[in-house]
Amino acid sequence: MCLLYQYPAEVKLFQVAALSLIILFSGCKDNPTDYWKPTPYQLSIPFGFPTKLNIPDDNPLTVEGIELGRYLFYDGRLTGRTHPDSLMSCATCHIQANGFEAGINHPRFQGGFVHGITGIPTRHIMLPLVNLVWNHSGYGWNGFIWPDNPNINLRNIEDFVRVAVMAEDEMSADTTRVKQIFQQLKGYPELFYKAFGSDKITFRNIERAIAQFVRTLISANSRFDKYLRGEVQLNPSELRGFVLFTTEEGADCFHCHGGGGNPLFTTHLFYNNGKDTVFDNLHDRYYITGNPLHTGAFKAPSLRNIAVTAPYMHDGRFSSLDEVIDFYSTGVKYSSYIDPLMHHVLRGGVRLTPSQKNDLKAFLNTLTDLDFLINPAFARPEKFPDQQ
Amino acid sequence: MSKLIIRYLAFSVITFFILLSCNKSSQTPSGIVRFDVQHKANGSTLELNKLIYTNAAGNQYMVTEVQWFVSKVKLQKSDGSTFVLKNGEPIYFDTGIPATLSQSFDKVPAGSYTGISFIFGLDETQNKSLRFTNPPESFMFWPDYLGGGYHYMKLNGKWLNVNGLIEPFNFHLGIGQIYDTIAPKSAWVNMNDCCKSARHCEGYQPPQKTMPITGFVQNYFEVSLPLAFTIEENKTQSLNLQMNIEQWFKEPHIYDHNHWGGSIMQQQAAMKAGCDNGHNVFTLSIPR
């Protein structure tokens, strides 16, 4: 554009006119140009939350990208199929009301055990899609997707989208077919153009849009958050539960699951928490690191909205919070692989009294964020672009 | 108009060079100090996750990770003055994060030094809840109910207990609690003073399994390590800061895991023994 300043006015006028014509008659806007300017989306950091975000340089958050991502997240044609019986979207399993997990009350997946579009049981229980913009330590129960992965195709949420779409125990889709379908759906090419400067749909841009939307799924307004901000007081039972949660002689949850000083309620790290004595799961942390000490270790998930995200543990063995609390109280099993933080193991657990169990559960319930669970910005769009 | 511009430009250029020369003449010659942190056990490099060590109490043990803070690191000059690194901010080391184990600090005045000193952990002026919101430092938080702020150190591992079982231990040091009146009152701090930065301490009820907490003990301690070294202008001086793991369990108190068990965050006597022993844990040397 600075060339314009080196020519007489007539030439400049001609250049401007020519440029306008090119833009006007360009049938396919393949390349981002100066007039494509998506609107940057500013995440606000909630009180006590980390300031370092996991947002790749090549996929900054934009208003347009997030809007597109929300449509795609909820659009069942992400399977690359259009027959009403063959639709499956991210939201088929990731239910907002259940903290973006399937939930034990899922109408299609009994007990919260999901299966892919072809009926193959999904290998893992779901993890919540919450506050992932602060996850720098790997995605999935064993962290098989992580930022420094030598395999550049398995590094971030964008890659997780592709994995989920292609996995035969999930959407079992042909990515070429997926992008072809969305290319033909009225309204989508324009949204892709607004988000990424090109209306030629690529699967990479599908991944990027969904990842942007997922990064906005922030839960930070539970009763506990309000307590942390000094806006409300917890009741005596909840306070006793909080003390139990954050004391070694109590329930001792905080080293792995955070607390007041780590309101993510997870470290996003991996622990063998004493569920088993025989380890035959081929997809534990050891599967990723090759370190024998990581045998039987899985991610400590965020406890935000934990009351609505049953079933629990990597294999969904517990269907209620009561069962989980009972496990940590007296059901912890000894093995040579148990994480050192599970120092109560030789007593079978932290040995809570019935009233302490009630208090701990009362505290865990304060992590339910109703604003997050019904936030319209995260909800299914009323209409998809081709229906408007 | 053009004369005005030329005058303005000339004035700007002259001012620029004057400022430049002033700046140059006032600069103190400085260099860089680099701390290479080494974790040792019985004189050799610590091997994580191996049950190959024996402490002074005769416990066979292994270490799985060590995460710790120092703060108010001061370099002591031969003229008696000191230079404070990083404005005294806490510095974090982690056996699981290699980048933390070699940290450089620039703008250290050139000259002769006689040693360094630091606070192990964080003192009451710095140990405020939520001062770190980003990992890995934020993962070191010390619950407000137990005094707030941050762990000074997490030294995790396992030991072979009296029953022949390999049992986990968390040798965690931080603010201690007073559950009775044994500790001198001069060592107490007010709970609200300790927690006020977090705004969520009032209203706590003590857990049923422990005695009421009546106060807190600041367990941080100062370490002074004499060593003659020189910082030369625009050069890097490396210093090996060594943590000798076995010393945590050795003197003046023989620390027995069978006695204290796997967790000590709520056992002030155990943390005090650990911190007393901590004075002999560190050595400083110049790499050969």
DSSP string for residues in chain B:
-HHHHHHHHHHHHHHHHHHHHHHHHHPPPEEEEEEEEEEEETTEE--TT---EE-TT--EEEEEEEEEEEEEEEEEETTS-EEEGGGG--EEEETT-GGGGEEEEEEEEPEEEEEEEEEES--TTT--TTS--STTGGGGB--GGGT-SB-SEEEEEEEE-TTS-EEEEEEEES-EEESSS-S-GGGEE-HHHHHTTTS--TT----TTSPPP-EEE---EEEEEEEEEEEPTT-EEEEEEEEEGGGGGTSSS---HHHH-SB-TT-HHHHHHHHHHHTTSEEEE---
Largest CA distance in chain B: 94
Task: Count CB atoms within 10 A of the CB of residue A177.
Answer: 14
Task: Reduce the DSSP state of residue A270 to 3 states and report it.
Answer: strand
pLDDT of residue B15: 55
Is residue B6 very low, low, confident or very high in pLDDT (cuts 50, 70, 90)? low
The token pair at A211 is: 């990842």
Task: Count CB atoms within 10 A of the CB of residue B60.
Answer: 15
| Between residues A270 and B2, the one the model is more confident about | A270
Alpha helices in chain A (DSSP H): 9-25, 63-74, 90-93, 157-166, 175-184, 188-196, 203-215, 223-228, 236-245, 254-257, 285-289, 321-326, 354-365, 370-373
pLDDT of residue A104: 95
pLDDT of residue B214: 80
- On chain B, the residues whose CB falls within 8 A of the CB of A345 are 167-168
Average pLDDT on B116-136 reads 96
Which sequence spans correspond to the domains of chain A?
63-218, 223-372
Nearest residue on chain B to A259, alpha-carbon basis: B143
**pLDDT tens digits, A235-255:** 999 999 999 999 999 999 999
A136:B135 CB<8 A: yes
Is residue A9 pLDDT above 80, yes or no? no
A248:B263 CB<8 A: yes
Strand partners, B101: none
The token pair at A375 is: 């936030």
**Rounded distance between C-alpha atoms, residue A38 and residue B239, angstroms:** 50
B141:A249 CB<8 A: no
Is residue A32 pLDDT above 60, yes or no? no
**pLDDT tens digits, B149-181:** 999 999 999 999 999 999 999 999 999 998 755
B8: in domain = no
B184: in domain = yes
The token pair at A56 is: 């790749």
How far apart are the CA of B151 and the nearest CA of chain A, in angstroms? 11
Average pLDDT on B73-95 reads 96
The answer to whether B168 touches B270, Cβ cutoff 8 Å, is no
Is A235 an 8 Å CB contact of chain B?
A: no
pLDDT of residue A195: 98
Specify the range with the lowest mean pLDDT, choosing from A65-79, A132-146, B203-217. Answer: B203-217
**Rounded distance between C-alpha atoms, residue A363 and residue A239, angstroms:** 7
Task: Count CB atoms within 10 A of the CB of residue A174.
Answer: 15
- On chain B, the residues whose CB falls within 8 A of the CB of A234 are 203
pLDDT of residue A282: 86
The answer to whether A230 touches B198, Cβ cutoff 8 Å, is no
**Rounded distance between C-alpha atoms, residue A372 and residue A364, angstroms:** 16
Average pLDDT on B93-121 reads 97
Average pLDDT, chain A: 92
B5: in domain = no
Average pLDDT on B90-108 reads 97
Is residue B39 pLDDT above 80, yes or no? yes
Specify the range with the lowest mean pLDDT, choosing from A217-231, B24-38, B215-229. Answer: B24-38
Question: Which of A154, A147, A141, A157 minimizes the C-alpha distance to A66?
Answer: A157
Is residue A23 very low, low, confident or very high in pLDDT (cuts 50, 70, 90)? very low
A344:B262 CB<8 A: yes
Specify the number of domains making up chain B: 1
Which one-letter amino acid corresponds to residue B122?
Answer: L
Is residue B1 pLDDT above 70, yes or no? no
Is residue A139 pLDDT above 90, yes or no? yes
**pLDDT tens digits, A77-133:** 999 999 988 999 999 999 999 999 999 999 999 999 999 999 999 988 999 999 999
pLDDT of residue A4: 36
Is B176 an 8 Å CB contact of chain A?
A: no
Is residue A6 very low, low, confident or very high in pLDDT (cuts 50, 70, 90)? very low
The CATH architecture one would assign to domain A223-372 is: Orthogonal Bundle (1.10)
Specify the range with the lowest mean pLDDT, choosing from A151-155, B31-35, B206-210, B265-269. Answer: B206-210
Whole-number percent of chain A with pLDDT over 90? 88
- On chain B, the residues whose CB falls within 8 A of the CB of A52 are 134-135
Whole-number percent of chain A with pLDDT over 70? 91
**pLDDT tens digits, A273-312:** 999 999 998 899 999 999 999 999 999 999 999 999 999 9
- Structural domain span for residue B46: 28-285
Confirm whether A63-218 and A223-372 share one CATH topology. yes
Contacts for B189-194: CB closer than 8 Å, 24+ residues apart? B189/B124, B189/B215, B189/B216, B189/B217, B189/B218, B190/B215, B191/B147, B191/B215, B191/B216, B194/B124, B194/B144, B194/B147, B194/B148, B194/B149
Average pLDDT on B99-107 reads 97
Is A255 an 8 Å CB contact of chain B?
A: yes
- The CATH class of A63-218 is mainly alpha
A260:B203 CB<8 A: no
pLDDT of residue A123: 87
Whole-number percent of chain B with pLDDT over 90? 76
By DSSP bridging, strand B82-84 and strand B91-94 are unpaired
A243:B199 CB<8 A: no
B49: in domain = yes
- On chain A, the residues whose CB falls within 8 A of the CB of B200 are 227-228, 230, 260
Report phi then psi at A303, rounded to 5: -90, 5
**pLDDT tens digits, A172-227:** 999 999 999 999 999 999 999 999 999 999 999 999 999 999 999 999 999 999 99
Average pLDDT on B237-248 reads 98
A230:B199 CB<8 A: yes
Beta-carbon-side half-sphere exposure of residue B54 (alpha carbons within 13 Å): 2
Is residue B229 pLDDT above 90, yes or no? yes
B1: in domain = no
pLDDT of residue B213: 81
**Rounded distance between C-alpha atoms, residue B169 and residue B189, angstroms:** 28
How far apart are the CA of A229 and the nearest CA of chain B, in angstroms? 7
B149: in domain = yes
How far apart are the CA of A256 and the nearest CA of chain B, in angstroms? 9
